[in-house]
Amino acid sequence: QVQLVESGGGVVHPGRSLRLSCAASGFTFSSYGMHWVRQAPGKGLKWVALIFSDGSDTRYADSVKGRFTISRDNSRNTLHLQMNSLRTEDTAVYYCAKDKVDVGATKIFDYWGLGSLVTVSS
């Protein structure tokens, strides 16, 4: 069955960096677009970034553009999110999510990981 397991979260000071990873199994990782979606404590869901199946194209929410970089290693079935210049408003649980269809990116999230908490605080 599909499994997505995030890691790399923690507490970090404003302006510092953190790298999240998501280990995928149970499906052909290299065939699917992948996303990061975040949820601030007690708040709703916000899409963060998308990477297409072969890594050739990426998209970002305006709030993270220029600070965050999504990448993937298809040989290791792993998704990453490099987060630089972190701000207190980036504090959230970060979920990796699989795109539903193996063509392009439908932006439908059919499987989600359990999430990794990132806390940005001085």
Partner 1 sequence: DIQMTQSPSSLSASVGHRVTITCRASQNVRMYLNWYLQRPGKAPELLIYAASSLQGGVPSRFSGSGSGTDFTLTISSLQPEDVATYYCQQSYSTPTFGQGTKVEIK
CB of residue 113 vs partner 1: minimum separation in angstroms?
Answer: 6
107 lines the binding site for partner 1 (CB under 8 A): yes
CA distance 98 to 4: 8
CA 62 to chain centre: 15
Q: Which of 14, 16, 108, 121 binds partner 1 (CB under 8 A)?
A: 108
77 DSSP assignment: T
113 lines the binding site for partner 1 (CB under 8 A): yes
CB of residue 11 vs partner 1: minimum separation in angstroms?
Answer: 20
Using CB under 8 A as the binding criterion, the count of chain residues that bind partner 1 stands at 21
Write the DSSP assignment of 57-71 as a string of letters: -EEE-TTTTTTEEEE
Q: Which of residues 16-45 bind partner 1 (CB under 8 A)?
A: 35, 37, 44-45
59 lines the binding site for partner 1 (CB under 8 A): yes
Bridge partners, 28 (sequence order): none
Contacts of 7 (CB under 8 A, 6+ apart): 20, 21, 22, 23, 116
- Which residues sit at the interface with partner 1, rule CB under 8 A? 35, 37, 44-47, 59, 61-62, 95, 100, 106-115
